[in-house]
Amino acid sequence: MDIENLIKDTFTAHEPDAPDSDQVLAATRERLDRRRAVVSRPLAAAGVVLLVLAAVAVVALNRPARDSQVATGAGPTGGSAAVAAPAKPAIAELAMPYSLGWLPPGKADYLARRINIGGSAAHPDKPVYGGEYMLTVTSGPQVLLVDVQEMRMMPVGQAAFKSGPGRPVTIGGRAGVESSHSGGPGGYEVYLTHPDGGSLYVNVAAEPGSTASAQQLTDAGRRVAENVTFPGKATVTPAFGLGKLPDGLRMCTFDVEKGGPSGPSGSRTSYSVGTCATLPPVQVRSDEPGRVRGTAGQPVQGHETRYVDEHGYRTLWILKAVHDAPIAVAGPGAQAELYAIADHLVLPR
């Protein structure tokens, strides 16, 4: 089969049709199909590639000069040029300030992962002072509650326990104070000296209705505390992201909890946004549809909104922003500031 002659004959036959490459390709494909029985598969593939390249070249050469301009609006027939929508950014992972290197055996279920509000004169670029993990670990009929929290403003010497007095302990080379009462509300608790100041608190207890011995709780709590790593590489996926914030504002806290408006399998996400030195900040949170009120506001990212001003404290709800649940942006800031935050939220795809 002479592919070059075939292309030449086809383009000659359809020369008046240029630059309509679709007709040229359709006719050539029909002729190729009729000769398929006598053409080997590799040669046919090479012919198709050559045909496409030649068709592109012929259409470009025969296209009128005005068509070579970039389409920026309606064409000669009044239709709009197709413009690809920009890719929607993905929701960014949130970094925890430390990682848990060991947990008791069993199925871990994280109830909450958060960074608490605070400030540090030594590190003004890091407005948060502590992170917290709250989770359950299930092994057969036993369920343990585990809480690990940085208390950067509380030195070990000021430790306070839920169940009783503490005693000095050294874990992983760090001094601390611990208390263990398996039958008390605190279970096992320990405060260890934090490498950056303050203390690290670890609490392991049996969930109400479950049981664990004092020794089991002590062994588990000490091992959890010994294997906490700083700064760590753990991250958590929120239900939505903050995006670009107005000048002068930054994220002060985040809180990602199990469950929430999107159902038991979802997560409730909240942020506080501000200067991190002046309170109260703006709260940006997943909310319940039943809490929405106020009057219709300006649309945000294609979603309807509701807006209410209660003596200077303003709330903007973005309806159905996280599946069927709204997002509330609330605080004492100006209405324009709330919209500026809402317009840049990264919503689920």
| Token pair listed for 175 | 């001094």
Q: 92-104 burial, b if ≥16 CB within 10 A, otherwise e?
A: eebebbbbbeebb
Residue 348, preceding peptide bond in cis (omega within 30° of 0): no
Cis previous bond, 16, omega within 30:
no
| pLDDT band for position 85 (cuts 50, 70, 90) | low
Beta partners for residue 315, in sequence order: 308, 330
Asked whether 99 and 229 are in contact (CB, 8 A), the reply is yes
301/317 Cα distance (integer angstroms): 12
- Collapsing DSSP to helix, strand or coil, 57 comes out as helix
Q: How much is the pTM?
A: 0.72
Positive/negative CA dihedral, 168, 190, 101, 138: positive
pLDDT at 259: 83
Q: State yes or no: cis peptide before 231, omega within 30 of 0.
A: yes
pLDDT computed for residue 84 by the predictor: 54
**pLDDT score for 86:** 60
pLDDT, mean of residues 148-170 = 91
What is the spatial distance between Cα 162 and Cα 184, in angstroms, rounded to a whole number? 8
pLDDT at 98: 94
Q: Which is more confident, 270 or 54?
A: 270
pLDDT at residue 238, as a whole number: 94
CA dihedral 230, 216, 256, 107 (to 10 degrees): 110
Averaged over 194-222, what is the pLDDT?
A: 94
Q: Which residue has the higher pLDDT, 248 or 100?
A: 100
List the structure tokens of 15. Answer: 């020369």
Gap between the Cα atoms of 125 and 77, Å rounded: 56
State the Rg of the chain over Cα.
Answer: 32
C-alpha dihedral, 64 to 65 to 70 to 73, nearest 10°: -70
Share of the chain above pLDDT 90, in %: 57
Q: What percent of the chain stands above pLDDT 70?
A: 70
Complete domains list, the chain, with CATH: 94-235 (2.60.120), 238-346 (3.30.200.100)
Instruction: Give the range among 3-17, 172-186, 329-343 with minimum mean pLDDT.
Output: 3-17
Identity of residue 193:
T
- Can you tell me the mean pLDDT for 267-284? 88
| Distance of alpha carbon 90 from alpha carbon 291, whole angstroms | 28
Within 63-139, residue ranges assigned H as helices are: none
Give the pLDDT of residue 235. Answer: 94
- Between 89-93, 182-186, 329-333, the lowest mean confidence (pLDDT) is in 182-186
Q: Answer yes or no: is pLDDT of 149 > 90.
A: yes
